[in-house]
Structure 1
Amino acid sequence: MTHACPRLRRGVVTAAAVGILVVPPTGGAASAGPAIRPGAVAAAAPSGLSPTGVRRLSPDVVRQLDQAVLRVMRQAGVPGVTVGLWTPDQGQYVKSFGVADKSTGRKMSPDLYMRIGSETKTFTVTALLHLVDRHKLGLDDPVGKYVAGVPNGDRITLRQLAGMRSGLPDYTADAGFRKALTSDPRRPFTPNQLLAHAFKHPVLFPPGRRFDYSNTNLILLGLVVQKASGRTLADYIGTHVLRPAGLDQTFFPAGARFPRPHAQGYTNRTANGEVRDAADWNPSWGWAAGAMVSNLDDLRVWARTVATGVLPDGTRLISPASQKQRLTTLPTSVPGAGYGLGIFDVRGWIGHNGSLPGYESLTVHLPPARTTLVVLLNSDIDDKGTEPSTLLGEAITKIVTPEHVFDLPARAAAR
């Protein structure tokens, strides 16, 4: 029997759309929803773009966006999608399409909680950088200083772990792990059990030689945060990241806890390849690499915060020096994509995507244009080898920011 490979990435559709909120740049909100700071309307360039390269969200552009999202949903067989796009001078677009629950027909809506997979990495690395600012650890410390038994642990630095350049194999690629997970997706995993699956395999290359996305790196960083702080990772992230950022709808869940209302999530990453509802599967196997839960409004705030280091009230979550370290992106094997410390830069869009069984997400910010894009969907089933979140990100940005098209091939993602 073959076993589907789980992923923690960077991981019949109704045409009816619900939760519509479109704000023209010269008017107020059509209904209650995530607010944007008003700004002056910039004169459009001859191409129809603002000087910052963002297309005005006119009725025609909104229709194009609706059509693009529905086209990808049909192509990839995605049951439900929520899209949030916010610009300071060109309007905002918040819509949900399709269904959150195929069995009942319950509609997708912008208020639903979703599992965010590898977007968890941005929170874990922020906790790490917060400890750097408190002089509890250094980015160039060897991981062996905090965690025993790591291959090359005396040579691999925390910076290399966060930048995906450690050379450590990914535990999610281990056949034994995949069998254990798919045979009982509700079972809990401990961090040490996950590392044991990775450390059965030889290192891939000497530390720092190249980029290779491995979830093992983030499991180690979660343990480092706990060792240096003396607190659990969930507690440290909650106190020093979520609370200062005002993210009261974002959680590091205990076990399979999933706040309501949430979307059901559909996956074919099962032992026999059949599609199943994964909403009650235990995400502990993702832990510091991919276990967190959030929603559209919190991710809107987080996108700008993680990309700039600045909180909504104008204060800083981490120091400018640490933010500079985070955004020092080194090349990857993907043209137009760099990776910093737990964060991608894809043609100017800074942030991360996420996937684990049943769910995918994309949360990115384009700093020069002060524009944020969040995409949430309740399927992680690839379309011809490409993640539906990437298809949606590409389709949306081709319309709204044609000079900055988000395109992240699957090979750049975690498996």
Structure 2
Amino acid sequence: MVPAAGASAAALPSAAPVLPAATDPPSPSSSGGAVRDLTPSLQRQIDAAVQHVMKQADVPGVNVGIWTPDKGQYVKSFGVADRSSGKKMSSDLYLRIGSETKTFTVTALLELVDQGKIGLDDTIGTYIHGVPNGDKITLRQLAGMRSGLFNYSQDEGFFKAFTSDPRRPFTPQELLHYSFKHPVLFQPGKKFYYCNTNLILLGLVVEKISGRQLRDYIHDTVLQPAGLDHTVFPQGAEFPSPHAQGYTDQTANGKVATTADWNPSWGWAAGAMISRLQDLRVWARTVATGRLPDGKRLISAATQKQRLTTPPTTIPGAGYGLGIFNVQGWIGHNGSLPGYESLTIYLPSARTTLVVMLNTDINYKKTTEPSTLFGDAITKIISPDHVFNLPAEPAAR
């Protein structure tokens, strides 16, 4: 989420990368979304593909979960959670999920829409003063990455502040300051541009309208109803145990560092959250359908339809709705924060979930996020008609 100065948006602490889609996601009944049976033979192919990506991208450890109602499941851990101790990776470990946080923040926002307390076409200036073009930018454009605001995590001053002390806290107001000193990049709605600034503003809107801290509101209205007992929005650098150590090269000198004790507050509403494999399994379907595990709606059908509607983008086969993307029919989000990456996606046409969590964000050949490599390699095997094939150039984390 925090790109190195002058680097691509995904360079440094990336709260989460994303590459959006241009078409509405298929309905659960649509054809052509078949997922292959998770037979022992197919699972061995997945094993080999995961191990190949690990070697290719020098990934210390990874958890992979695939769940499909009629064709079996696959839950395995590979490699190590900590290179110094040799502790094995395991599915009960907590990891930081970076920009997957965006799906929770936008869900909280959409709940307020359903309650009639805000409107998606309200301007941000109605709630937050001092935003460039605040009288024109709508909440919908912020959630859909079409605001035109500068991404604070690409600001050189922010990069220097973060890398000089990655354990320091940042306030939302400090983050906005890094963005607002730059001119707007384009007029609202004119194009897609992945920008963490958008989510900081939406987090502040949720706080203002709910009268509560964002972390508390998300806990009570999103996490608890969904039964996500192992998903956390930290106040600062706290990290539940057991957790994996993280490895990054997003440092001032470019050397690899360990990151478990780094403070993710710079990501806040765009990328600070923590979770585990089984919780993300539940969340994948919940966020893609708007329904809780018991079948009740978390988001109304009308609002969920708006969430999944993706205006055209320039990225073939991919689109971005309201805090969520669609890549070749797979709906969800990825996340990247120094030391950690994740991918949580759901294929409605096959009611299949894929979750990948790993303890590095070091790009392969400096261009491709390892979570994307895993998503591509695994979906080529399990859903060859729906391959998670984001372009090589990573999106703004």
What TM-score, normalized to structure 1? 0.89
Which residue matches 2:326?
A: 345
Partner letter of residue 83 of structure 1? V
The answer for unaligned runs of 5 or more in structure 1 is 12-49
Counterpart secondary structure, 1:106: coil
Which residue matches 1:47?
A: none
1:127 aligns with 2:108: yes
C-alpha distance in 1, partners of 2:290/2:49?
Answer: 32
The answer for unaligned runs of 5 or more in structure 2 is 6-10, 19-30
Q: Is the 8 A contact 2:108 2:206 kept in 1?
A: yes
Which residue matches 1:320?
A: 301
Which residue matches 1:237?
A: 218
C-alpha distance in 1, partners of 2:222/2:40?
Answer: 38
Q: State the percentage of identical aligned residues.
A: 72
C-alpha distance in 1, partners of 2:123/2:252?
Answer: 38
Equivalent residues in 2 for 1:13-52, closer than 5 Å: 52=33
C-alpha distance in 2, partners of 1:309/1:191?
Answer: 28
Pick the structure with greater CA Rg: 1
The one of 75, 80, 89 aligned to 1:99? 80
Which residue matches 2:344?
A: 363
Which residue matches 1:225?
A: 206
Q: How many residues align?
A: 376
Equivalent residues in 2 for 1:208-357, closer than 5 Å: 208-357=189-338
Q: Is the 8 A contact 2:245 2:258 kept in 1?
A: yes
1:399 aligns with 2:381: yes
1:5 aligns with 2:23: no
Q: Is the 8 A contact 2:33 2:383 kept in 1?
A: no
Partner letter of residue 128 of structure 2? V
Q: CA deviation at 1:409?
A: 2.4
C-alpha distance in 2, partners of 1:124/1:314?
Answer: 21
Partner letter of residue 196 of structure 1? H
C-alpha distance in 1, partners of 2:390/2:111?
Answer: 28
Q: Is the 8 A contact 1:363 1:374 kept in 2?
A: yes
C-alpha distance in 2, partners of 1:153/1:278?
Answer: 36
C-alpha distance in 2, partners of 1:330/1:387?
Answer: 25
Partner letter of residue 224 of structure 1? V
1:207 aligns with 2:209: no
Deviations 1:362-404 (A, max 9, x none): 0000001000000000000000210000000000000000000
C-alpha distance in 1, partners of 2:33/2:210?
Answer: 41
Q: CA deviation at 1:110?
A: 0.5
1:115 aligns with 2:119: no
Which residue matches 2:156?
A: 175
Q: Is the 8 A contact 2:106 2:322 kept in 1?
A: yes
Q: CA deviation at 1:7?
A: 1.8
Deviations 1:156-208 (A, max 9, x none): 00000000000001000000000000000000000000000001111000000
Q: CA deviation at 1:52?
A: 4.5
C-alpha distance in 2, partners of 1:378/1:83?
Answer: 12
Q: Is the 8 A contact 2:169 2:263 kept in 1?
A: yes
C-alpha distance in 1, partners of 2:244/2:251?
Answer: 19
Q: Is the 8 A contact 1:333 1:412 kept in 2?
A: no
C-alpha distance in 2, partners of 1:412/1:279?
Answer: 23
C-alpha distance in 1, partners of 2:355/2:82?
Answer: 21
Deviations 1:317-362 (A, max 9, x none): 0111111111011222211000000000000000000000000000
Deviations 1:60-117 (A, max 9, x none): 1111100000000000000000000000111100000000000000000001001000
Q: Is the 8 A contact 1:245 1:302 kept in 2?
A: yes
Partner letter of residue 354 of structure 1? G
Q: Is the 8 A contact 1:6 1:178 kept in 2?
A: no
Which residue matches 1:54?
A: 35
Counterpart secondary structure, 1:352: strand
The one of 387, 397, 408 aligned to 2:390? 408
Deviations 1:111-164 (A, max 9, x none): 100100000000000000000011110000000011000000000000000000
Q: Is the 8 A contact 1:142 1:153 kept in 2?
A: yes
C-alpha distance in 2, partners of 1:233/1:412?
Answer: 28
Q: CA deviation at 1:406?
A: 0.2
Judging changes above 3 Å, is the alpha-carbon distance between structure 1 residues 142 and 308 closer, same or farther for their aligned structure 2 residues? same
C-alpha distance in 1, partners of 2:119/2:312?
Answer: 23
How big is the alpha-carbon RMSD for the aligned residues of Structure 1 and Structure 2?
Answer: 1.3
What TM-score, normalized to structure 2? 0.93
Counterpart secondary structure, 2:331: strand
C-alpha distance in 2, partners of 1:214/1:51?
Answer: 33
Counterpart secondary structure, 1:331: coil
Q: Is the 8 A contact 2:15 2:272 kept in 1?
A: no
C-alpha distance in 1, partners of 2:78/2:128?
Answer: 45
C-alpha distance in 2, partners of 1:276/1:256?
Answer: 16
C-alpha distance in 1, partners of 2:81/2:277?
Answer: 14
C-alpha distance in 2, partners of 1:57/1:351?
Answer: 22
